Amino acid sequence: MNNTGSISSIIVEIRAGTGGEEAALFAKQLFRMYSRYALKKNWLCQILDSNETGLNGFKQVVFKIKGENVYAEMKQEGGVHRVQRIPKTEKSSRIHTSTISVAVLPMPESFQTNLNPSDIKMDVFKSSGPGGQNVNKRESAIRITHLPTGIVVSSQTARNLEENKKTALSILQAKLLEKEKIQRENQISAERRTQIGSADRSEKIRTYNFPQDRITDHRIKKSWGNIEKILDGNLEVIINKFHLEN
């Protein structure tokens, strides 16, 4: 995938890491930032799978973005994002540090990986909404486990099982292709790491410091003010800087 500009669809996976409910709430904010930026770019954004918390945060959300040059613009978002702020649930005004991991996977336009049916385990279940309540009486959601690698994907936003199955297989394929790509790169550089590690605080690519109203990207050593404006979907200031640096 050398011609990144030609990739018109990506799968983005946001997971809450260290920080519990506060991390889940910021994961929801990151999803809002990316979806609002996609809206500004006239890209299509579609949630494929999500796991919400009782306070309306996201333990995990997987979504597809489709649009011109989407991978070239969004690929640098992959990694661990750190947030420092006073949570709304905090009574003693202490600043908490939480982490959220983001993966940006190029989505193939057509199936390029031949999946052996014996390598796949499929489980169907009822779709669930916030708090875990079932939102569909029929078992239309699907969870797919790729046995050789242990990769598990799921989809539950479509109304029928077949559509969710198709979506889950697309996510699985994107993850398998990303895994193959990383393995190839590891042969050249043993120090190459996957986008998402353990979501440890030390594995950060970017810090959102609310008390100082500052976002810092540690890879290009650049900071920006006005966090709320950027989180409202005005991500171009960061993306444009990356384009200038690379």
DSSP for residue 108: P
Tokens 């973005």 appear where?
65
Task: Beginning with the edge strand found earlier in the chain, give each strand of the sheet holding 96-106 in spatial order.
Answer: 44-52, 58-66, 9-16, 96-106, 79-85, 204-209, 214-217, 222-225
Are 14 and 102 within 8 A, CB to CB?
yes
Residue 78: per-residue pLDDT? 92
Which candidate, 212, 214, 216, places its Cα nearest to that of 204? 216
Residue 203: per-residue pLDDT? 66
| Cα 87–chain centre separation | 22
Residue type at 115?
L
Over residues 84-140, the pLDDT tens digits come to: 998 876 777 888 899 999 999 887 665 555 678 889 999 988 776 554 454 555 678
Q: What angle do CA 151, 197, 74 make, to 5 degrees?
A: 85
Over residues 2-55, the pLDDT tens digits come to: 455 567 889 999 999 988 899 999 999 999 999 999 999 999 999 988 888 888
Structure tokens at 17: 């890491």
Answer left, alpha or beta for residue 184, where phi above 0 means left and psi between -120 and 50 means alpha: alpha
Alpha carbons 227 and 213: distance in angstroms, whole number: 6
Are 30 and 229 within 8 A, CB to CB?
no
Alpha carbons 71 and 106: distance in angstroms, whole number: 6
| 226: confidence class by pLDDT, cuts 50, 70, 90 | very high
Calculated CA dihedral for residues 175, 177, 217, 41, nearest 10 degrees: -90
Residue 2: per-residue pLDDT? 43
Residue 82: per-residue pLDDT? 95
Which candidate, 222, 194, 195, places its Cα nearest to that of 206? 222
Mean pLDDT of the chain: 83
Residue 15: per-residue pLDDT? 93
For the CA atoms of the chain, what is the radius of gyration? Answer: 18
Domains and CATH numbers, the chain: 4-110+194-245 (3.30.70.1660), 117-188 (3.30.160.20)
**147 contacts: CB under 8 Å, gap ≥ 6:** 119, 120, 121
With 0-12 / 13-18 / 19 or more C-beta atoms within 10 angstroms meaning exposed / middle / buried, residue 115 is: middle
Q: Is the pLDDT higher at 49 or at 209? A: 209
Alpha carbons 148 and 127: distance in angstroms, whole number: 26
Are 15 and 101 within 8 A, CB to CB?
yes
